[in-house]
A and B are shown apart, each in its own frame.
Chain A
Amino acid sequence: MTATLELPSYKEQSPEVAERFRHLKEREVTLSARGLGKTFSSAQGPVKALSDVNFDVYRRELMCVIGASGCGKSTLIRILAGLEPLTEGEVLIDGKPVAGPGPDRGMVFQSYTLFPWLTVKKNVMFGLKMTGSSEMTAESEAMQWIELVGLSGFEDSYPHQLSGGMKQRVAIARALANRPRILLMDEPFGALDAQTRAQMQSYLLQIWRNVDVTILFITHDLDEAVHLSDRILVLDRNPGRVNEIIEVPVGQPRTTRQFLQPEFLATKGRVSELIHPPRETSDEHLPIFKMTRVGDEVV
């Protein structure tokens, strides 16, 4: 813990960052979770997965949700998307409660969910056609989104011909094409290798800067959370509930060089503390196994 002593507190904000957060909170609230709870019934009786989750996401904010595995991150985002019914509370979009999935909440999944029988272009057009756009409009809009995610030239490729990173870029374009109020991203880069993941993070930041979109991003990767977010929502587990909402004191725009800045490390340290509390067990009582074979002289 010696290294953390030299770091500033994650709560110290430079004047620019403080100013930024002041502005952010003046914006309207795009998504709002009010007393959100979810209880599953199981053979052992009801299991509470989420309990009294309250938070707001402001317009054009990028918020990450992080938590130890099993804390209900995915359940939370599926409830927000309307794919999972909630048992308590409500979800508001622009102040109005929503039920069930809808094109106002676009979603990018961890698994590749491009429709394999449609080309890149047709995939991006899918949502537009579902929401009633004509073939012509949908096509010209789709081409713009494909260009935005840097995949011009691949519009007639099938998903199986694309790499993992490219597939997720198409998925982002497909979700954005519907002009959703919020883009929900459920560990979208979780299946990618470290290099591609870093590339995708910078793509995402670039898109976020160019497009008027609010993003809620689920991850279990500390660096990713700190690197991408305005604010980080840390979830506790058993049951899942909000532990702290951290305002990331790292300046904008984000670059990979910030990974070694004190405020970056301080924030990362704090998140790490919250989701991996220090273990209280020691290994003193564990028996020692000697790797000897039968017949060997035991020393």
Chain B
Amino acid sequence: MPWFTVGKPLDKMRASLLMGASFVLPLLLWSIAAYGPFWSNSKEITIASDTDDKDGFAGAIAPGDVFEADRFSAYQDAVRNDNKALEAAQSTPEPGQSRANMKVLRSIFPVAKEEGWLTQDQEKDYDALFDVWGRIAENEKGAASAISDENLPIVQQNWARLSKASTSYDEAAFVDDVPLLRLVPEAIDKKGRPVFLPAPHEVLSTAIRDFSGNSKLGDLMLGERYIDSIRTIVSGFVIACLIGVPIALLCGTFSFFSRLIEPFVDFFRYMPAPAFGTLLVALFGIQSAPKVALVVIGTLPQMILMVANTTRMIDGALLDAAQTLGAKRPQLVSKVVIPGILPMLYNDLRILLGWAWTWLVIAELIGTKVGLTELIDTHGRRFHFDHVYPWILLIGLTGFVTDQVLSNLRSILFPWVPEAGHSRVRHVLERVGNWLRPGQHKSSQAAAILAKPKEETST
């Protein structure tokens, strides 16, 4: 059988193969883009120092900055030159250098943090930083290996001066008349990928760290934010349903309501919901109410039109039949229209829930930023894309999984819809049921009942 036939479905094997490929291909493209030989070798700075070469290196350089390899060597050389000048200057003491020296003291902080000696908030904890210098200089528990061989003598030399002044940090007795030597910048190799293109493994490792609560960015409260986001979308969607479905049923059933309501709704849906953001904040405040309201405004018009249309799709012959059986108007609605469209209504709502997710991000940006969106927005602005992508994926995955679950539930909720037999979830549930109650062949009984009419058909 060929792979390409007009209007014919593929066999199961190929279909599942392609289903896998539809996820693998984008991942592959990403990997090629990230790992391909398109990006130069770069250095991500782990230890930064000030340099007096302001022409070559204007502006502050901080750990985490990424330099091309050549420029990084130049930066190292610049600091080495500075050190030569400083060493020369040490022979002629001159007060007023404590500020620069405290900067040098602080430059050890990234190493201490990486080694786990200090925490994020101890960047200016001079007592602790002071001790770190001593620890490295005296190589306590192999601490010296935290820095390069080139920097070890510098640390030791500085420590000699620091410890001569006082054994622990003392602001009054801090070295002031001679300059401390600067640490020579250190870096780790890094592909010079653009910030928006972190590699898959980087995203995976930050995702694991973020979701397990050990993020480099501090306490992100991802769980709370996630639940917050879900609460917004679910309340918005439920409110939209409570308002929208009854209106849509009326529109779909009675031409009167259809003519009265639908034209305006049709017009309203072309006005972008986010445009009402400020109005909603004015109306509902800055907390979660305007966000829920935005999801409602975004979903409601579509819902009314879509469900009304679905309602109109009820087979007119069923209404005729019901009338000849004695059904009057209220019964036509409650006993024919509503049960008749229920599976389609369910499907519509499932699709609409998917759309509601698209409003979530915009909704969370109005008023006070909250939920996952706040993180995505804040850290996106800081170019932390390796963190941002997993969160975006989390939203996508939640929507996708919900949709798949709801889609499979359909055949359990509506057993009269013909494709009921094909549900994978139902199949699994039946298997589990059989396994829990050995001896009762429930599914084979069901199969026999289902097969019976078929036999009759053939006679």
- Where the two chains meet, the residues of A that have a C-beta atom closer than 8 Å to any C-beta of B are 78, 81-83, 101-103, 105-107, 109, 111, 113, 115-118, 126-127, 130-131, 153-154, 156-163, 166, 171, 174-175, 178, 184
Contacts and interface: CB of A to CB of B under 8 A. Distances in A.
A171 to B, nearest CB: 8
A115 B341 CA distance: 11
A170 B278 CA distance: 59
Contacts of B324: 81-83, 101-103, 105-107, 175, 184
Contact of B321 (A82, A107, A161): A107
Contacts of B335: 126, 130
Given A157-B453, A162-B453, A163-B457, A116 B320 contact: no
A153 B456 CA distance: 11
Interface string B94-130: 0000000000000000000000000000000000000
Given A115-B340, A163-B456, A126 B322 contact: yes
Interface in B407-439: 414-418
A103 B416 contact: no
B325 interface: yes
Contact of A117 (B328, B342, B418): B342
B336 interface: yes
What 7 A-B pairs are tightest by C-beta distance, nearest first? A127-B325, A103-B326, A163-B457, A113-B321, A101-B323, A130-B326, A107-B324
Given A116-B416, A130-B331, A166-B453, A111 B326 contact: no
B74 interface: no
15 contacts: A103-B325, A106-B325, A113-B320, A116-B416, A117-B339, A117-B342, A117-B416, A130-B331, A130-B335, A159-B416, A163-B456, A163-B457, A166-B456, A175-B324, A184-B324
Contacts of B452: 153-154, 157
Contacts of B418: 160
A116 B315 CA distance: 11
A55 B319 CA distance: 28
Nearest to A199: B459
B275 interface: no
Nearest to B328: A130
Given A153-B452, A161-B453, A178 B325 contact: yes
Contact of B320 (A83, A126, A160, A175): A83
B318 A113 contact: yes
A82 B324 CA distance: 8
Interface in B308-361: 315, 317-318, 320-328, 331, 335-336, 339-340, 342
Interface in B387-422: 414-418
Contacts of A178: 325-326
A157 B415 CA distance: 10
B227 interface: no
B317 A113 contact: yes
B453 A130 contact: no
Contacts of B328: 130
B73 to A, nearest CB: 75
B453 A115 contact: no
Contacts of A157: 449, 452-453
Contacts of B454: 161
A124 to B, nearest CB: 10
A78 B336 CA distance: 20
A111 B315 CA distance: 10
A105 B325 CA distance: 8
Contacts of B416: 116-118, 158-160
Interface in B287-325: 315, 317-318, 320-325
A131 B327 CA distance: 8
Contacts of A107: 320-321, 324
A18 B263 CA distance: 65
Nearest to A113: B321
A159 B453 CA distance: 10
A174 B342 contact: no
Contact of A109 (B320, B326, B417): B320
B146 interface: no
